[in-house]
Amino acid sequence: MYVALEGIDTSGKSTQLEALSSYYPQAIITKEPGGSKIGQYIREMILHTPNLDSFCEFFLFLADRAQHYHEVLKPNLDSQKLIISDRSLISGIAYAKDIPQAIAYNHASMRGIKPHLCILLSLDEASLRARLGQKTHDKIEERGIAYMLEIQTRLQRFCALLEIRTLTLDATLPREQITQAIVREINAL
């Protein structure tokens, strides 16, 4: 089973991924970008290359996703292991500028595979502002609050469009309460 944790930056995906790893010690815990060996290099390029063209960035994310599918997802899905990933093709589509093209290319990079379940961690504007004020911003976060909230809306929309079972949770709830809701949803599958 393939479970994707989605949400804008600071929504708590990494925190929940860490918590879920103790509930599911046999699960494959991964992330996009950077969940494969090649993906680690791609992640660094995306995050730290100044003046990276948006078209180039789009294809770097696709390259990471294709390798992640090949190296992590496919072999573990074939072995019927639980895979929990910080981000997925849903983000790849939500962050893209040309949506029809993004859907087609992301679908191809994943060879038609999509998450069985998406856990979408959602933040309101005030909570997002507060969380962003507590950290150094990366390249994505520097695009601003309105941009990030638009991405959050797109994440919800593309889960529905791709017909992915989705549990949307308020990311401001206590951490353990969020974790328990996720565990219940995974166990229900």
Q: How far apart are CA 64 and CA 38, in angstroms?
A: 7
Average pLDDT score over the chain:
94
**Alpha helix ranges (H) inside 9-143:** 13-23, 37-48, 54-68, 74-78, 89-94, 99-109, 125-132
pLDDT single digits (tens) 111-137: 999 999 999 999 999 999 899 887 665
Q: Is the model's pTM score more than 0.85?
A: yes
CATH number, domain at 83? 3.40.50.300
Q: Which domain holds residue 126?
A: 2-188
pLDDT single digits (tens) 27-81: 999 999 999 999 999 999 998 999 999 899 999 999 999 999 999 999 999 999 9
Number of structural domains, the chain? 1
Structure tokens, 13:
């995906």
How many CB atoms neighbour CB 86 within 10 A? Answer: 21
